Amino acid sequence: MSSSVREWLNLSVRWFHVFAAIMWVGQTYYFTWLDGQFTRMEKNASAQNPPAVWMVHSGGFYTVEKQRSLGVSAAQVRWFRWEAFFT
């Protein structure tokens, strides 16, 4: 393998690592903020009115509710696992 090809592979792996790290850190801050919102709201919530956070993303309105267990299979959340692995 020539040194030019190795340099390009090295550069692409490094930038992929940087991109994965940015995504991972961004999601960490997002979920930390979201958990803080739920913790604050749980103090004021009743059993009939569970806490929910309203969010706007890409022109859509979403409500996020805290779950006590994972409602999907572990295979469906593989993106988070691979982000952490590549970072």
Tens digit of pLDDT for each residue in 24-49? 888 888 888 888 887 777 777 665 66
* pLDDT recorded at residue 66: 74
Q: What is the CA radius of gyration of the chain?
A: 19
Least confident of 1-5, 34-38, 65-69: 65-69
How does residue 5 score in pLDDT terms, banded at 50, 70 and 90?
very high
- Count up the domains in the chain and report the number: 1
Cα separation of 35 and 41, whole Å?
10
Contacts of 17 (CB under 8 A, 6+ apart): 86, 87
Residue 66's identity, in one-letter code, is K
Q: What are the residues facing 86 on neighbouring strands?
A: none
Query: Is it the case that residue 14 has pLDDT exceeding 90?
Result: yes
Query: Is it the case that residue 13 has pLDDT exceeding 90?
Result: yes
Query: Is it the case that residue 9 has pLDDT exceeding 90?
Result: yes
- Find the domain containing 48 and state its range: 3-86
